[in-house]
Amino acid sequence: MGQIFTGEQGAPFRSLTRKVQIGDRVIGGGNPVLIQSMTNTKTEDVQATVAQILELERAGCEIIRCTVPTEDAAKAIAEIKKQIHIPLVADIHFNYRMAIQAMENGADKIRINPGNIGGMEHVKAVVDVAKERNIPIRVGVNSGSLEKHLVEKYGGVTAAGIVESALDKVHMIEDMDYDNLVISIKSSDVLMCVEAHELLAEALKKEKTIYPLHVGITESGTVASGNIKSAIGLGMILGQGIGDTIRVSLTGNPVEEIKSAKLILRTLGLRKGGIEVVSCPTCGRTQIDLIGLATRVEKLVEDYPLDIKVAVMGCVVNGPGEAKEADLGVAGGIGEGILFKHGEILRKMPEGELLGALKDELDHWV
């Protein structure tokens, strides 16, 4: 584990994957890693689902997935699609008819686990419609639903077993003469998930087609623990050049997933843009409400399309040093603070005016 995974010419693995068109977006082949999320509304409720997708779009979501458990949900897709601006993926479990209806209603991609939609015939029925409309299929397998024979073969649920399960399903669909595919393999065990992606990337290089990979750490938990598990897991996988789309799964508001995904991509240098806030951890020298200020600054900068760094520091010990690197910053004093720009002190002001002064600078940033 842990080696940088590269292609023949030293390029990241993701530049070797085949390009797949999802609605008006293209993934794979070295295209930017796109951020996905999933709605948690009832898909049948068009109004609530559209409202959530629009909110996620504003936060930076680039592909949205909705569950399609009923005929009404499949029908709702047509209406939802009219009102949103990003590709929609239909998530199907157990009922192959829902996959077909979702495609007929305009889904830009479907996500199925060919192992749980009722046998070869049903998979074939889905593949035939996908082929007709050239709709990509994400083949998703999950450690929780690993086939018995693979559990026995590998002496339990293992990374190798998950990879074999995914490739078996890919081969099944290739044998039906369809290869517009994306693969996802998931495990809530972070290190197993990382290992499985490494093995899959290795294995795909020997396959007919190197399919793009959707990466996520499943059932990762509530916002705090889910963020940590996702950052470690996705960081290790993406950092090795693997992964074409990502989802941070959190038990919480999906908008949080987008914020985390953006931060993970930015931290890995896979995404530019957006204001980066750096802030000190506070200590006994802090004499202003720095935690409150940093939280408000983080919220404030969300809406600015600027590619700059803003520092929020508790005191002048590290403040000016940090402010040299940051484009803009504040450092606290005793009930007051200093505003910095490109390492130079602009002015001193009472603590209560710091946020407004930062906002003013951002509003007039050139």
Q: Indicate the residue among 106 and 314 with the shorter CB distance to ligand SF4.
A: 314
The residue of the chain with the least Cβ separation from ligand SF4 equals 314
- Minimum distance of ligand SF4 from residue 286's CB (angstroms): 4
Question: Interface residues for ligand SF4 in 278-337 (CB under 6 A)?
Answer: 280-283, 285-286, 313-315, 317-319
- Minimum distance of ligand SF4 from residue 260's CB (angstroms): 24
- Minimum distance of ligand SF4 from residue 322's CB (angstroms): 7
Q: Indicate the residue among 185 and 280 with the shorter CB distance to ligand SF4.
A: 280
- Minimum distance of ligand SF4 from residue 283's CB (angstroms): 3
List b or e across 346-366, with b for residues whose CB sees 16 or more CB atoms inside 10 angstroms: eeebebeebbebbeebbeeee
Q: Indicate the residue among 254 and 319 with the shorter CB distance to ligand SF4.
A: 319
- Minimum distance of ligand SF4 from residue 7's CB (angstroms): 43
Q: Indicate the residue among 269 and 284 with the shorter CB distance to ligand SF4.
A: 284
Question: Interface residues for ligand SF4 in 94-133 (CB under 6 A)?
Answer: none
Q: Indicate the residue among 274 and 337 with the shorter CB distance to ligand SF4.
A: 337
Q: How far is CA 323 from CA 206, 299, 314, 331, 363, in A?
A: 49, 20, 12, 9, 19
Q: Which parts of this chain interact with ligand SF4 (CB under 6 A)?
A: 280-283, 285-286, 313-315, 317-319
